[in-house]
């Protein structure tokens, strides 16, 4: 909450200081990478439990099923605790982590009233989201 003159209380200003934001960003990145690794590990274990004894077909390439090529299908398969779904969910989380970092930086720059960096960060976030959408934006 801002004062009538537009300034912020010391506690709010300290929450969005450069050091605080840097710590927040580092925690976000660490949590994202650890969670992604855990998902891939659990998915790999489940996948191997189910498919470890199948003979490898090295001469035949089979890509991922269609349902695992879209975010909705990946989330659905992860929710069903499918090994492949969890692996793909972990990889999706790994890709989403730096995008979340850019989003958090945007929020921080807005709170710090740094218009230039907020605009640049918003542009970068828009480019990242557009590239994930396949250039459809």
Express each pLDDT in 69-81 by its tens digit.
Answer: 888 889 999 999 9
How many Cβ atoms from other residues are within 10 Å of residue 61's Cβ?
6
Residue 127: which of 104, 100, 99, 101 has the closest Cα? 99
Which residues, at least 6 apart from 128, have a Cβ–Cβ distance to it below 8 Å?
99, 102
pLDDT at residue 84 greater than cutoff 70: yes
Per the confidence metrics, is the pTM higher than 0.85? Answer: no
Q: How far, in Å, CA of 48 to CA of 67, rounded?
A: 20
Q: How confident is residue 6, by pLDDT bands cut at 50, 70 and 90?
A: low
């Amino acid at each position: 909450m801002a004062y009538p003159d537009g300034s912020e209380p010391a506690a709010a200003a300290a929450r969005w200081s450069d050091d605080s934001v840097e710590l927040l960003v580092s925690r976000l990145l660490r949590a994202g990478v650890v969670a992604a690794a855990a998902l891939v590990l659990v998915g790999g274990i489940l996948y191997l439990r189910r498919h470890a004894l199948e003979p490898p077909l090295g001469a035949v390439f089979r890509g991922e099923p269609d349902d695992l090529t879209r975010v909705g299908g990946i989330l659905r398969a992860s929710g069903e605790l499918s090994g492949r779904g969890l692996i793909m969910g972990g990889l999706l989380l790994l890709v989403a982590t730096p995008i979340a970092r850019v989003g958090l930086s945007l929020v921080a720059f807005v709170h710090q009233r740094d218009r230039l960096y907020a605009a640049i960060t918003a542009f970068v976030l828009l480019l990242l989201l557009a590239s994930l959408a396949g250039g459809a934006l």
